[in-house]
Amino acid sequence: MNLGYSFCPNDTFIFYALTHGKIPLEQPIHEILEDVETLNIWAQTAKLELTKISYHAYAHVMDQYVALRAGGALGRGVGPLLVAKSKLEDLRGKTVASPGKLTTAQLLLQIAHPEVKTVFMRYDQIMPAVERGEVDAGLIIHESRFTYQQHGLVKLLDLGEWWEADTGLPIPLGAILARRDLPSKTLQTLNNAVRSSLEYAYAHPLEPKAYIKQHALEMEESVMQAHIDLYVNDFSLDVGDAGQRAVETLFARAADLGFIQHSSLPLFV
């Protein structure tokens, strides 16, 4: 069974045990590592049985996928940042580099600042584009939130803080989806396996390090650990009631604004 997830340390930390034979399963899991926006696009044709995906993209493929309760990325203080070379008093008419049309970061930007213009590029190309003056601002995700100051950039807005202040809820970033055509018993088994994989990583934190570093795009070890500490949390073990309310709230607001369609399908297994 194929499982797609990103190169980011939070994903490789969570899925190390599952993809290295540490969690007993009747059917082995084969990992496919890709940029999250690529995974978002692949999900539109249900290419993979299991996949990491942005919650924004999930809203567009709910007829084909259902989210597992384990393995996702939600939390407080984890939101996308809007950065620039200097403070901007007004974003109207400004061009923002975004990490992808289907990313949750892009959806949050649309909700918070519908007046901006966006251009799309891979997340690790955004800060260099801002530095070169090719765009007015950049919407950064993943490890970029730890390194933007090293690029001489300043924070304009933390969309996570904006969301939390407005809703009182954690911010839902990414989910692990399974195809809805899988048997319900299989879906529950997969959910339990993902949770067990994370529990294994917590119990053996040094064991996944080589695998994490292999895929971390030359990231410094301190940044890798900060990334894991921030994006892997109790919501990664189980989305919980607060996490589910956060997803429901995000989808309701986006649907009311016409960015996605309302759906009555269950969100989680």
- Reported as a single tens digit per residue, the pLDDT across 174-210 is 999 999 999 999 999 999 999 999 999 999 999 999 9
Q: Is 193 among the domain residues?
A: yes
What would the pLDDT profile of 58-104 be if each residue is shown by its tens digit?
Answer: 999 999 999 999 999 999 988 999 999 999 888 888 999 999 999 99
Beta-bridged to residue 117, according to DSSP, are: 95
Q: Model confidence over 11-61: pLDDT tens digits?
A: 999 999 999 999 999 888 999 999 999 999 999 999 999 999 999 999 999
- Domain C-terminal end among 140, 167, 194: 167
Q: Is residue 263 part of a domain?
A: no
> What range does the domain containing 212 cover?
2-75+171-256
Please say which residue of 109, 138, 167 terminates a domain: 167
One domain, residues 32 and 144: no
Task: Indicate whether 114 and 226 sit together in one domain.
Answer: no
Question: Domain of 94: which CATH number?
Answer: 3.40.190.10
Inform me whether the pLDDT recorded for 219 exceeds 90. Answer: no
17 lies in a domain? Answer: yes
Q: Are residues 68 and 186 in the same domain?
A: yes
Q: Is residue 268 part of a domain?
A: no
- Asked if residue 161 and residue 90 are part of one domain, the reply reads yes
Residues 90 and 78: their CA atoms lie apart, in Å, by 24
**pLDDT for res 130:** 97
Q: Give the mean pLDDT of the chain.
A: 94
Under 8 Å between Cβ of 56 and 106: yes
* pLDDT tens, position by position, 110-169: 999 998 999 999 888 999 999 999 999 999 988 788 889 999 999 999 999 999 999 999
Q: Quick one: 139 and 91 in the same domain? A: yes
Going by their DSSP bridges, the two strands 137-140 and 95-98 should be labelled as parallel
Domain total for the chain? 2
Tell me the β-bridge partners of 176: 52
In a domain, 159, yes or no: yes
Q: Are residues 118 and 151 in the same domain?
A: yes
177 in the same domain as 50: yes
Within a domain: 141: yes
Active-site hit among 56, 60, 113, 142: 142
Q: Is residue 92 part of a domain?
A: yes
Do 139 and 29 have their domain in common?
no
Q: Is the dihedral of CA 72, 77, 79, 80 positive or negative?
A: negative
Decide if 142 is catalytic: yes
Assess whether pLDDT exceeds 70 at residue 218. Answer: no
Residue 195 near residue 234, CB atoms below 8 Å: no
Residues 56, 179, single domain; the answer is yes
Domain final residue pick, 150, 167, 184? 167
Q: Is residue 266 part of a domain?
A: no
* Mean predicted confidence (pLDDT) in 216-226: 83
- Whether 178 and 163 map to the same domain: the answer is no
177 and 233 belong to one structural domain? yes
Q: Are 40 and 86 in contact (CB under 8 A)?
A: no
